[in-house]
């Protein structure tokens, strides 16, 4: 079977606008969550988020592209640009390359603005490109056009697991030989009034901070941004002398078929076990887990129980980087894969910041507040979505 490696990475998120600066921020345990700067914030009860600051689309994209794209697609485009620059992938006629991106909300900003215009402001007209801006596949399509990629191009939308499902499919398609390379990851731009208001309704958001696995945690905090990677067939990457960031070793997805919102220990545990089996690895081989770690009472307790079920009494270090960049919903797995690359490539485990007090329901080594040096050969990245959908990736250090 073909092996799959990562030869490029790009990102824009609340911590930074590229991968090296994001890694530096993760290593420093910096928090990108701050008071939100959006219209009508005074009518929200949640007023913090991991917002991308200093965003200037015109610094990266031309006028026509900006006019035809939502913020979520612009984030995807810029992250893909960076990943392609690092990878130096030769696309050629593009027929054997693909783009598979995750997003939950798609062009939510466009929907929000347009609804505001017609309902609140009583306008009778919306922008002519409203539909092509808001469609969920807009990010993937824009990336395909920017890089001449003409093979399989599509979007995966599975709420908070979207990016992991997207990257898992990309991995499987490269491994099977269906394509040589895929630009994959995810993006989200849900920090608009309607996007936050909808989450408020569930009563699972924190008004203060994201404190995964801490006894004092009181909910999740949203973020926004994107991360995109070049997944490439290993032999062709080696043949062209590409720098290999890590190997994608395994992937598994499971469904709880239980509750629409309450997480399941069994579903999460089966996904972790499945990813290890797919990679030909044993639980004892894993040196680091990037947790889903949303800082809700239910997720963290359930995830800790699932980790205990798979890894027994002495699980590897686990960290939840959402405390730094926020929960990017459909883009979250992609940004969190950066923490896995940091661990595998630089030997740095990003911390779980905002940690105050241990919780006996979450008896894990959560790498509290300070990054840690460690030799990490194998890492897992967890994503568990509403709808009971679980997607876990296993990564191996480049050899």
Partner 1 sequence: MTLHEKIIAIIAEQAVLDVSDVTMDSTVESLGLDSLGLVEAIFAIEEAFDVSIPFNANDPAQSGFDMSSVGAIITAVEGLLAQKAA
Per rule CB under 8 A, is residue 91 in the interface with partner 1?
Answer: no
Exactly one of 11, 82, 206, 222 binds partner 1 (CB under 8 A); which one?
Answer: 206
Exactly one of 67, 88, 261, 277 binds partner 1 (CB under 8 A); which one?
Answer: 261
Count the site residues for partner 1 by CB under 8 A. 16
Q: What angle do CA 5, 9, 13 make, to 5 degrees?
A: 145
Query: Which lies closer to partner 1 via its Cβ, residue 37 or residue 259?
Result: 259
Per rule CB under 8 A, is residue 296 in the interface with partner 1?
Answer: yes
Exactly one of 218, 243, 266, 346 binds partner 1 (CB under 8 A); which one?
Answer: 218
User: Which one, of 114, 117, 108, 37, lies nearest residue 73 by Cα?
Assistant: 108
* Cα-based distances in Å from 228 to 80, 194, 337: 5, 26, 10
Q: Residue 327 catalytic?
A: yes
Per rule CB under 8 A, is residue 198 in the interface with partner 1?
Answer: no
Task: Answer yes or no: are the C-beta atoms of 6 and 338 closer than 8 Å.
Answer: no
Written as six digits, the tokens of 120 are: 């609140």
Query: Which lies closer to partner 1 via its Cβ, residue 205 or residue 249?
Result: 205
Q: Rounded to the nearest whole angstrom, what is the least distance from the CB of residue 204 to partner 1 in the complex?
A: 5
Query: Which residue is catalytic, options 292, 325, 340, 362?
Result: 292
Query: Which residue is catalytic, options 31, 160, 340, 362?
Result: 160
Q: Rounded to the nearest whole angstrom, what is the least distance from the CB of residue 264 to partner 1 in the complex?
A: 14
User: Which one, of 342, 395, 8, lies nearest residue 183 by Cα?
Assistant: 8
CB count within 10 Å of CB 239 equals 9
Per rule CB under 8 A, is residue 125 in the interface with partner 1?
Answer: no
Q: Using CA atoms, how far apart are residues 25 and 8, in angstroms rounded to an integer? A: 19
Task: Answer yes or no: are the C-beta atoms of 227 and 186 closer than 8 Å.
Answer: yes
Per rule CB under 8 A, is residue 146 in the interface with partner 1?
Answer: no
Q: Residue 165 catalytic?
A: no
List binders of partner 1 among 156-195 (CB under 8 A): none
Residue 390, SS3?
strand
Written as six digits, the tokens of 56 are: 């200037």
Per rule CB under 8 A, is residue 219 in the interface with partner 1?
Answer: yes
Q: Using CA atoms, how far apart are residues 304 and 309, in angstroms rounded to an integer? A: 9
Q: Using CA atoms, how far apart are residues 209 and 35, in angstroms rounded to an integer? A: 11
Q: Rounded to the nearest whole angstrom, what is the least distance from the CB of residue 293 to partner 1 in the complex?
A: 14
Exactly one of 201, 239, 257, 399 binds partner 1 (CB under 8 A); which one?
Answer: 201
Q: Residues with Cβ < 8 Å from 356, sequence gap 6 or more?
A: 211, 214, 215, 216
Per rule CB under 8 A, is residue 203 in the interface with partner 1?
Answer: yes
Exactly one of 67, 202, 277, 282 binds partner 1 (CB under 8 A); which one?
Answer: 202
List binders of partner 1 among 347-366 (CB under 8 A): none
Q: Rounded to the nearest whole angstrom, what is the least distance from the CB of residue 364 to partner 1 in the complex?
A: 18
Per rule CB under 8 A, is residue 47 in the interface with partner 1?
Answer: no
Q: Using CA atoms, how far apart are residues 303 and 268, in angstroms rounded to an integer? A: 7
Q: Residue 60 catalytic?
A: no
CB count within 10 Å of CB 360 equals 7
Q: Using CA atoms, how far apart are residues 258 and 271, in angstroms rounded to an integer? A: 15
Nearest-10 crossing angle of helices 193-201, 108-115: 100
Stretch that binds partner 1, among 83-91, 156-164, 213-221, 349-357 (CB under 8 A): 213-221
Per rule CB under 8 A, is residue 95 in the interface with partner 1?
Answer: no
Q: Using CA atoms, how far apart are residues 265 and 269, in angstroms rounded to an integer? A: 6
Query: Which residue is catalytic, options 17, 165, 325, 327?
Result: 327
Q: Using CA atoms, how far apart are residues 244 and 260, in angstroms rounded to an integer? A: 39
Q: Rounded to the nearest whole angstrom, what is the least distance from the CB of residue 240 to partner 1 in the complex?
A: 49
Q: Rounded to the nearest whole angstrom, what is the least distance from the CB of residue 297 to partner 1 in the complex?
A: 4
Stretch that binds partner 1, among 101-109, 149-157, 260-268, 381-389 (CB under 8 A): 260-268
- Helices first, then strands: H and E counts in the chain: 13, 14
Stretch that binds partner 1, among 82-90, 201-209, 221-229, 266-274 (CB under 8 A): 201-209
Length of the chain: 399
Query: Which lies closer to partner 1 via its Cβ, residue 262 or residue 282?
Result: 262
Q: Spell out, one character per residue from 262 to 281, where the chain touches partner 1: x when CB under 8 A holds, - when not.
A: x-------------------
Where do contacts with partner 1 occur on this chain (CB under 8 A)? 45, 201-206, 217-219, 260-262, 296-298
Which of the residues are catalytic?
160, 292, 327
């Amino acid at each position: 079977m073909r092996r799959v490696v990562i030869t490029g990475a790009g990102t824009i998120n609340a911590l930074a606008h590229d991968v090296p600066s994001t890694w530096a921020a993760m290593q420093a345990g910096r928090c990108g969550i701050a008071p939100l700067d959006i219209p009508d914030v005074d009518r929200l009860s949640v007023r913090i988020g991991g917002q991308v600051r200093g965003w200037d689309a015109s610094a990266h994209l031309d006028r026509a592209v900006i006019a035809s794209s939502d913020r979520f697609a612009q984030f995807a485009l810029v992250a893909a640009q960076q990943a392609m620059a690092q990878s130096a992938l030769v696309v050629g006629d593009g027929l054997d390359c693909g783009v598979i991106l995750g997003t939950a909300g798609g062009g939510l900003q466009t929907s929000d603005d347009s609804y505001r215009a017609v309902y609140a402001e009583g306008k009778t007209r919306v922008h002519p490109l409203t539909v092509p801006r808001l469609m969920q596949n807009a990010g993937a399509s824009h990336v395909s056009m920017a890089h001449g990629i003409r093979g399989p191009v599509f979007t995966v939308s599975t709420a908070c697991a979207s990016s992991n499902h997207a990257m898992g499919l990309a991995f499987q398609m490269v491994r099977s030989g269906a394509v040589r390379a895929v630009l994959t990851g995810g993006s989200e731009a849900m920090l608009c009034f309607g996007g936050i208001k909808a989450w408020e309704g569930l009563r699972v958001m924190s008004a203060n901070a994201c404190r995964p696995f801490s006894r004092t945690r009181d909910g999740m905090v949203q973020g926004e941004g994107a991360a995109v990677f070049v997944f490439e067939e290993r032999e062709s990457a080696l043949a062209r002398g590409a720098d290999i960031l890590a190997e994608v070793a395994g992937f598994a997805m499971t469904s709880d078929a239980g509750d629409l919102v309450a997480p399941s220990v069994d579903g999460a545990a089966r996904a972790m076990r499945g990813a290890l089996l797919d990679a030909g690895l044993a639980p004892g081989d894993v040196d680091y887990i990037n947790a889903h770690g949303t800082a809700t009472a239910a997720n963290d307790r359930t995830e800790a129980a699932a980790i205990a079920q798979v890894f027994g009494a002495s699980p590897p270090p686990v960290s939840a980087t959402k405390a730094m960049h926020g929960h990017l919903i459909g883009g979250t797995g992609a940004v969190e894969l950066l923490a896995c690359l940091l661990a595998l490539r630089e030997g740095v485990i990003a911390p779980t910041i905002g940690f105050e007090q241990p919780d006996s329901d979450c008896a894990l080594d959560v790498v509290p507040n300070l990054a840690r040096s460690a030799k990490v050969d194998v890492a897992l990245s967890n994503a568990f979505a509403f709808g009971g959908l679980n997607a876990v990736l296993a990564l191996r250090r480049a050899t």
